[in-house]
């Protein structure tokens, strides 16, 4: 019989999160940002604990992160 492992629900009350988004292909990246924000707030991360940085393209992502 397979074993079932249950993980606790993620909690983000005391987290500070940074999200870096590229402007290139904005139709896709806007949807990704919206999903990330929804997931973070769903798990208790406060809006003022999330910093969003928007960069021109993919080359700037690692430098900004």
Whether residue 1 has pLDDT greater than 80: no
Instruction: Write out the residue range of the structural domain in which residue 39 sits.
Output: 17-64
d(Cα 37, Cα 52) in Å, to the nearest integer? 10
pTM: 0.79
Give the residue, 2 or 4, on which the prediction is more confident: 4
Within a domain: 7: no
CA trace torsion 62, 34, 15, 10 (10° rounding) = -110
d(Cα 31, Cα 8) in Å, to the nearest integer? 27
CA-wise closest residue to 40 among 18, 12, 14, 16: 12
Within a domain: 1: no
pLDDT computed for residue 7 by the predictor: 84
Tens-digit pLDDT profile for residues 18-64? 999 999 999 999 999 999 999 999 999 999 999 999 999 989 999 99
Within a domain: 25: yes
51 φ/ψ sector (left φ>0, alpha ψ -120 to 50, else beta)? beta
pLDDT computed for residue 39 by the predictor: 95
């Amino acid at each position: 019989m397979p074993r079932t492992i249950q993980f606790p629900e993620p909690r983000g009350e005391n987290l500070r999160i940074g999200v870096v988004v590229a402007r290139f292909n904005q139709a896709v990246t806007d949807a990704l940002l919206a999903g990330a924000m929804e997931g973070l707030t769903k798990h208790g991360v406060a809006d003022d604990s999330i910093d969003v940085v928007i960069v021109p393209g993919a080359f700037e992502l690692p430098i900004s992160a």
